[in-house]
A = this chain, B = another copy of it.
Amino acid sequence: MTYNLLIENIKKHIDLSSSEADSICEFFKLKTIKKKEFLLTQGTICKFEGFVVKGCFRTFTIDKKGNENTLYFAAKDWWLMDIDSFMNHKPSDLNIQALEDSEVLIISQKDKETLYAKIPSAEKLFRIMFQKSIVAWQRRIIRNHSLTAKERYNHFVEKYPKIASKLTDRQASSYLGITHEFLSKIKKQP
């Protein structure tokens, strides 16, 4: 069953009775999406939170200079949303695009509120998930400031080999914050 992955993911963060697990799962609906299609586009309001069960996504923004900037990739077992747009009901700065045929468990904004209200441990679950997420963002800032582009590339490939293997160089470079031409040159270095 496709909900097992979600339950296992939740159990990494908090202890959960199986009845609670089932109640949580009831709020999520499976959504199928094809390669290159968008789950969210810049300018629209993000009305969902998603958990990837199959495939891979890229979350990126296009800045004033027209450059694509990838915030993160989300493969199987990752969560997915524009947290700012979702929380504040405001137009998103982000695009979320499927890199391959994918499946996501989706919970709507409204259902998320109900989930928090009805299942007390949900607050704790997401509080802990968000804490862990902050740690990851902080580490990325430090890496961006203290490592060279080549060191960042090596770190990325070592830490996320499965995701890295699915990407074009252009996609990887937009995550690392460099041009694709420079990534090409980096990869040739000894």
Contacts and interface: CB of A to CB of B under 8 A. Distances in A.
Contact of A124 (B71, B93, B123, B137): B123
Interface in A57-115: 61, 63-65, 67, 69, 71, 83-84, 87, 93
Contacts of A120: 120
Contacts of A63: 142, 146
A138 interface: yes
Contact of A135 (B83, B127, B131, B144): B83
How many identical subunits does the complex contain? 2
Contact of A137 (B127, B132, B134, B146): B134
Given A69-B142, A123-B127, A127-B126, A84 B135 contact: yes
Contact of A131 (B93, B130, B142, B146): B130
A23 interface: no
Contacts of A127: 123, 126-127, 130
Interface string A118-153: 001001101100111111011011101110000000
A180 B162 CA distance: 39
Interface residues of A, number: 32
A141 B142 contact: no
A137 B141 contact: yes
Nearest to A65: B146
A38 interface: no
22 contacts: A61-B142, A63-B142, A63-B146, A67-B146, A71-B141, A83-B134, A87-B131, A87-B132, A87-B135, A93-B142, A116-B124, A123-B123, A123-B124, A127-B127, A127-B130, A130-B130, A130-B131, A130-B134, A134-B134, A140-B141, A144-B145, A144-B177
10 A-B pairs with the lowest CB-CB distances in the bound complex, closest first: A137-B137, A130-B130, A145-B177, A123-B123, A127-B127, A63-B146, A84-B135, A69-B145, A123-B124, A123-B127
